[in-house]
Amino acid sequence: MALKIWLNDKLVDEADAKISVFDHGVLYGDGVFEGIRVYSGRIFELKAHIKRLYESAMVIRLDIPMNKDKLTNAVEKTVEANGVIDGYIRLVVTRGVGTLGLNPFICENSIVFIIADNIQLYPEELYEKGMKVISATTVRNHPLALPPQVKSLNYLNNILAKIEALDNNVPEAIMYNHEGFVAEATGDNVFIIKNGVIYTPPISAGSLGGITRGVVIKLAKGENLEVVEKNLTRFDLYTCDEFFLTGTAAEVIGIVDIDGRVIGDGKPGRYTRLLRKKFYKYAHGKK
C-alpha cells in the first residue's frame, strides 16, 4: 500500500510527493527536521519535538508556514492516514525554491513534508549482547560554526563519521569535538556510568539536545540515580563501568566495546538494562 505524505497543506499520494530541484533543502541542506517515534499508536513526546523544530528554525531564520497546533495536527493526520501503530515520523521543513545562489531570502515559501512509516531498528540481538563502536577521526562541527542544538538537514559531518564506523564493521562511531571532548555518536547521545554515577556530555560539547536523552535523564533521576553533565574524554569512555547510547531509533542501547577496549564485563550493565526497561514502559504508556 502506497504511503500518504503530508506536503505543505494536505496529504498526497507517495508518487505525488515531490519538491523542486531548486529547493535550497536539496541544493544546500538548508532546512530542519525531526525524527519522531510512534509507540502503540501514541506519538512519542510530540510537543517536545515540535518545540525543538521551531527553535531550530528560529536560529537559522527559517519561517515555518503554519503554527504549532496546525503542524501538530498535520503530524497526527499523517500517522492516522498510514495506519502507523509502531513506527517512525520524519518531519521536514526546507527553505523552499530559490536560485542557484546562496541567498536564502530569495526563497519565498518554505516547504513542509511529513513521512510516517515503519523504521529500521537495530536487531534485538544487539540490545541483548551490546554493541561495539569506534572513535571517529571526523571532528564534530565547531559549535560556533553551527549550534549543535539545531537539527539541520546538513548531516554530512555525522555521515562522514558513520562511514568510518561502517568501514570498521561496527554500527556507530563516537565523535569528539575540537577540544578532544566527547560530543555524541553519529545519531545518538552518549552516556557512561562510573561508580554508580551517570555522566553525559553537556550540549555545549557539541551534542544535540536529544528528546530521548532528556527522557532517560528524567527516568534515571526517578530511580534516585545521580546524573551529571560534564565534559568526557576518551579515557573516561575506555575506563567506565557501563556505556550506553540513547536516540529516537536506538532508544537505549548498551555499548560493550570501544576501539577494542571491552567495557565492564563485556555485556550491557545492570543500570543500562534498568533504564532500557524503564524507557520501554514509559514509551508504551505503561507504569
Task: Give the domains, in start order, of the chain with CATH numbers.
Answer: 4-117 (3.30.470.10), 124-283 (3.20.10.10)
- Over residues 14-52, the pLDDT tens digits come to 999 999 999 999 999 999 999 999 999 999 999 999 999
Active site residue 151: yes
Grid cell 530559490 is found at 98
- Over residues 121-158, the pLDDT tens digits come to 888 999 999 999 999 999 999 988 989 899 999 999 99
Query: For 272-283, what is the HEC assignment?
Result: HHHHHHHHHHHH
83: Cβ contacts below 8 Å, ≥ 6 apart:
none
Do residues 64 and 93 make contact, with C-beta atoms less than 8 angstroms apart?
yes
- Over residues 88-102, the pLDDT tens digits come to 999 999 999 999 999
Q: Point out the least confidently predicted range of 115-124, 152-161, 175-184.
A: 115-124
Name the pLDDT band for 61 (thresholds 50, 70, 90).
very high
Exactly one of 4, 132, 151, 162 is catalytic; name it.
151
Cα distance between residue 52 and residue 65, in whole Å: 16
Report DSSP state, residue 97. B
Cα distance between residue 149 and residue 214, in whole Å: 13
Cα distance between residue 258 and residue 263, in whole Å: 8
Name the pLDDT band for 287 (thresholds 50, 70, 90).
low
